Amino acid sequence: MDQFAPEPGERLDDLQIKGYRIFQKKEGFCFGMDAVLLSDYARIRKNAEVMDLCSGTGIIPILLEAKYPLKHVTGLEYQEEYVKMARRSIALNGQEEKIGMVCGDVKDVRENYPQDSFDYVTCNPPYVTGDHGLTNPSFDLAIARHEILCSLEDVVSSSAWLLKAGGHMVMVHRPYRLAEIISTLKEARLEPKRMRLVYPYVDKEPNMVLIDAVKGGRQRITVDPPLIVYKEDGSYTEEIYRIYGMDGNP
């Protein structure tokens, strides 16, 4: 079978940046707006070494390589089938020199990677604690959304191990866990330096929070202006079009 053709149960989506595309499951986990917003918020420096935890389909490494002149980005994903699918997307886009996908457990990074070896760690982790809400009957969807295989503490602790002094952990999560997120980051000596709340509509509660924390950073946080996703008529705001690389048309 042609490795650049979708396999049964897959689809091939256009990422609308540099002509890049990505394989995704028709019924399984697919990336959402949170991954796109995280890639924009990360602000990766030139020639940086980056690790993306809970990498899924490889969407964040693919977008980071598209947006920034980084040195290399490694995507770490637990499910082998998603790693294989991500590798095919990376090959399709000609990104093999800049992106590597690895099958592994977030909790095992100490055994597999030297301490203080990355400039950035990005993560779009499971948002929901194991005892909160209903667990999706599909295993791949369940572990993407619920803290079944890794917790917030696991992600933060592993990030602190991987990052160099002054390195950045950039994460997207849910605002209702914000107090816990900040406490967990500070316990690991990852100091929150930037934060942005994402609102579906201007008159609704925020449903995402973007956080940039620095290893060993000083205590001072900048709260960026709110990001509004939709106008009153349901169309995207101009900033969302910019982040997606669109010209104002769907």
Q: Where are the domains of the chain?
A: 32-244
Helix (H) / strand (E) containing 145: helix 139-145
Q: Tens digits of per-residue pLDDT, 87-123? A: 999 999 999 999 999 999 999 999 999 999 999 999 9
* Prediction pTM value: 0.90
Q: Which CATH architecture has domain 32-244?
A: 3-Layer(aba) Sandwich (3.40)
Looking at residue 23, its pLDDT comes to 96
Do 197 and 175 form a contact (C-beta atoms < 8 A)? yes
- Residue 130 to residue 149: CA distance in whole angstroms: 10
- Residue 166 to residue 55: CA distance in whole angstroms: 23
Of residues 141 and 156, more confidently modeled:
156
CA separation, residue 96 to residues 48, 71, 74, 165, 201 (Å): 16, 12, 11, 28, 38
pLDDT band at 138 (very low <50, low <70, confident <90, very high): low
Closest among 168, 125, 115, 167 to 148, alpha carbons compared: 125
